């Protein structure tokens, strides 16, 4: 079953595998990082690598948060008719209907985060409001590299279910947006209570926890992304936040730890087990 449940204070978080596990080439994801750095990370901890340091484990997880009064989905994954789209089947296995979800938060404009907004041109989650931060909404509309606004977001506006909110809005009690720009200009992560952060692709591989200067080839603003990453990692370490990182295996749930004076990713789920 591709999901894992964990409690944080009064909140229940259900991490759902939204795309299959796969391998990608390290040099493709991090084109500016010298390969010797991958060798060093592989020798230190090969958990998130493939057969050697040239391959990285990669996936996608999406979080659902139960607050008591609300059931909030953070991002919607790839289009549901795409091969490998697992979100709807994962929700079903977790005993959750599309009709149960009351709010959807869209963290940023990439297709693997907004592609599941609709089915046959209608909102996938018919009883939900959809919320997006104003900076990301405005940036998405005019982004020349992503011409999918009309496909994935405009129909929500037309249906009257899209809320354009401030970049630090409290979406439902206890869940607040936090602007974390760089990967995308207005990307917003989501703070859950006092102890959890659902990240908006702030990093894509656990090695970046110790190397926030590493940026992927797809970051819109590499320097800004690196600065945001360093800030988030430092704050998460200080506050011992539970983190949900979308593209990390083992449901992307973990904390920032320290090993021999270096910050490292510490998963709270071992071997993709489920709950």
Residues 6+ apart with CB under 8 A from 158: none
Report the sign of the C-alpha dihedral through residues 19, 63, 16, 180, in that order: positive
Q: Which two tokens stand for residue 157?
A: 């506006």
DSSP-derived secondary structure letter, 49: B
Per CATH, domain 3-267 is 3.30.460.80:
no
| Strand partners of residue 51 | none
| Rg (the chain; Cα; Å) | 18
The Cα 181–Cα 175 span in angstroms is 19
> Which sign does the torsion angle of CA 44, 48, 50, 53 carry?
negative
Stretches where the chain sits below pLDDT 70 are 1, 271-275
34-47 pLDDT, tens digit per residue, is 999 999 999 999 99
Give the pLDDT confidence score for residue 114 in this predicted structure: 98
pLDDT at 1: 53
Structure-block tokens of residue 109: 């404009």
Place of tokens 């449940």: 5
- Would you state the structure tokens that stand for residue 80, as one six-digit string? 């549901």
Q: How far apart are CA 140 and CA 247, in angstroms?
A: 21
Three-class SS of residue 208? helix
State pLDDT tens for residues 177-198. Answer: 999 999 999 999 999 999 999 9
Per-residue pLDDT, 275: 34
């Amino acid at each position: 079953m591709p999901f894992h449940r964990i409690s944080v204070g009064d909140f229940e978080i259900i991490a759902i595998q939204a795309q299959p596990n796969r391998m990608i080439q390290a040099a493709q994801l991090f084109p500016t990082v010298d390969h010797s750095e991958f060798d060093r990370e592989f020798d230190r901890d090969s958990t998130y690598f493939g057969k050697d340091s040239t391959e990285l484990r990669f996936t996608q997880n999406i979080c659902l948060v139960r607050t008591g009064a609300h059931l909030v989905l953070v991002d919607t994954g790839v289009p549901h008719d795409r091969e490998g789209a697992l979100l709807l089947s994962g929700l079903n296995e977790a005993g959750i209907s599309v009709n149960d979800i009351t709010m959807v938060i869209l963290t940023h404009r990439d297709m693997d985060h907004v592609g599941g907004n609709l089915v046959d041109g209608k909102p996938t989650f018919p009883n939900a409001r959809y919320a997006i931060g104003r900076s990301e909404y405005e940036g998405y509309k005019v982004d020349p590299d992503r011409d999918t606004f009309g496909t994935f977001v405009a129909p929500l506006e037309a249906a009257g279910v899209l809320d354009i909110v401030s970049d630090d809005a409290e979406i439902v009690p206890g869940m607040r947006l936090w602007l974390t720009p760089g990967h995308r200009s207005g990307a917003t992560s989501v703070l859950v209570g006092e102890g959890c952060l659902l990240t908006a692709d702030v990093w894509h591989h656990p090695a970046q926890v110790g190397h926030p200067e590493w940026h992927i080839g797809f970051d819109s603003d590499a320097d800004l992304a690196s600065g945001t990453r360093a800030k988030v990692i430092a704050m998460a370490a200080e506050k011992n936040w539970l983190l949900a990182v979308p593209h990390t295996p083992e449901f992307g749930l973990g904390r920032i730890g320290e090993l021999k004076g270096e910050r490292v990713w510490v998963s709270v789920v071992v071997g993709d087990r489920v709950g």
